Structure 1
Amino acid sequence: MTAGSRPLAAATAGALVLVLDVPTVLAVGALLQAVPVLLFVASPVRALRTMPVLSAPAAVPHAREGTP
């Protein structure tokens, strides 16, 4: 999922280098690396101590023998 955004990120970084200098663009990229960590710290996932259990069985039908 994240590999598909790499060309877009490279094009965006290249466009930013035309406007800004390289160290500034590298600093912006480094700061953007912290965004997922901050989102994780602010999310309720940190408070989970056990794996949540579904109350109803999944709506996925069982696979038949011999089907790929």
Structure 2
Amino acid sequence: MTEQRAEQAQQEQAPEQAKAEPAAAKIVFTDPLAQQTSDDTDAAWGESAGGRGLDWYLSQRPPHHG
């Protein structure tokens, strides 16, 4: 008798468990490269928003470009 009760309890719980499962993820067919990522900006690389002047570029010149 106890086995039958256990089976009935499992059968009653099965539909509830099926409802509790999350819905399948939706597939999105968009171009991921069409959106700009956060690391694709100067600010994400730690650079300031303002432009750099000629003095900065001259100070960054390699020594062999004398």
TM-score by length of 2: 0.31
Structure 1-normalised TM-score?
A: 0.30
Larger Rg: 2
Larger fraction in helix? 1
- Report which structure shows greater RCO (CA 8 Å, sep ≥6): 1
